[in-house]
Structure 1
Amino acid sequence: MTIYRVHPDIDNYQILSISTDEVLNKLGDKYPFHIDPSPHSYSAIWRTLDINFHAAISTLQAQGIPNVSVDNGRLFTNESAFKLIETLISNKDEALLVNYDSQPGYIINVRLLAEDYLGVDTNRCKKNIYGDLESIGFIESKMKEAHLFRTEYDDFMGLYCSEEFKTIIEENNLSGITFSPDLGNIFPATSTRSPLAH
């Protein structure tokens, strides 16, 4: 079994963003969903958010909106992508409705943690003196049932997936994410350009 880190394909597709005003207007100031990656439950207070997409790379102009993307450890999907991966979403996760470009989509609030399976391999986990992630590992034999998950070890920022999830994305040519077996690398492997300044 191989576990992969999921990255947004910032070289070829736009990335999602959610404005602070939108979150404050819809969810209130107690629920900073757009900046807090913690796997809190939002379904009870959720109101459909309007989200936007923009280029992540300053030198790229004509990028398309992806079928799937990842931000703050959560997965965005359009409707067709959601139907393809729905069976791999755990019953702990939440499919939160969003609107983008006059279309419905979902942000999957991934609440399943490697810690739920005692699946963090502490012998392969390391942070530098500043607390930045250098490496991370999981006990694959304990993570067999987890198709999308996060971990407290990296402050819930990373999204990790199974081979089965990766296969569905690739066989159905769903655009917007890439996969890396280098679980400790927080940067998309293909990007060599500077991010767009905000």
Structure 2
Amino acid sequence: MIYKLRFDRSRFLSFDISPDVLEESFGTDYFSLLEQAQWETFWQPLPVEFFDDSDKHNVTKPPDVTLWFTDQLVVNQRAYEALKDTLSPYGEWLPLQCEGVPYWLLHITRSTGMDAVDSSSVRTVEESGYIDVKKLQFNPAAVKDLLLFKSEFDDGKNIFCSDEYRKLIEAHTLQGLVFSEDLASIF
């Protein structure tokens, strides 16, 4: 089983790095830096924040594991210690700070090509470059050995994971993620 990762905003605080912090740290053209394949060369520990993005505005607990946007993994120190060795082949670990507390961003660098996508998958690519995924299914043989990955099919806009990754998160009782079976949904 392959899942699309989502953050659980109904039960845990949402993660953010302020655009002001990004601009102050990396310059006004920080978007182009964040499009690079590797971030280690320019990254520095950034101050980050958590906020209540729930519908009821009653969430107070930060997650152990969450996402920055939909394509980067963020973990607290406990999760980092549990996952760092296992997940290192899937990206680069980069330091963060939230009010003096260490957090870590896993910039996912493992990606699959179009050959990893089943022929039943459907997407629309608009002139602007926006990709609207209508249906997505992976070829099991192409992703069988991957815990985490991005896909060329959706231009790397999401993190996908295996059931083994879900079990790893559960085995360490790490909270904050939703494992969606609907790979094409924007939510």
TM-score bucket (shorter structure): 0.7 to 0.9
Output aligned runs, 1:6-21, within 5 Å: 6-21=5-20
Are the aligned partners of 2:121 and 2:134 in contact in 1 as well (CA < 8 Å)?
no
Q: Is the 8 A contact 1:94 1:111 kept in 2?
A: yes
Greater relative contact order (Cα 8 A, min sep 6): structure 1 or 2?
A: 1
Matches within 5 A, 1:49-60: 49-60=46-57
| Unmatched runs of 5 consecutive residues or more in structure 2 | none
Aligned mates of 2:175, 2:158 — CA distance in 1: 19
Aligned residue number for residue 61 of structure 1: 58
- 1:163-185 Cα offsets, whole Å, 9 max, x none, are 11100111222111010121111
Aligned residue number for residue 132 of structure 2: 132
Aligned-pair CA distance for 1:33: 7.7
CA drift of 1:156 comes to 1.7
Q: How many Å apart are 1:64 and its aligned residue?
A: 0.7
Tell me which of 116, 119, 127 is aligned to 1:119: 116
Task: Give the length in aligned residue pairs.
Answer: 183
Please identify which structure carries the higher strand content.
Answer: 2
Match of 2:108 among 107, 110, 125: 110
Which of the pair is proportionally richer in helix? 2
Distance (whole Å) between structure 1 residues aligned to residue 122 and residue 88 of structure 2: 25
The equivalent residue for 1:4 is: 3
Take 1:125 and 1:19, find their aligned partners in 2: how far apart are those partners? 34
**8 Å contact from structure 1 (residues 128, 134) kept in 2:** no
CA distance in 2, matches of 1:71, 1:113: 17
Report the counterpart of residue 182 of structure 1 in structure 2: 182
Inter-CA distance 150–131: structure 2 relative to 1 (3 Å threshold): closer
Q: Which residue in 2 is equivalent to 1:87?
A: 85
TM-score by length of 1: 0.83
Equivalent position SS for 1:123: coil
The percent of aligned pairs where both chains have the same amino acid is 24
- Residues 105 and 25 (structure 1), Cα distance of their counterparts in 2 relative to 1, 3 Å cut: same
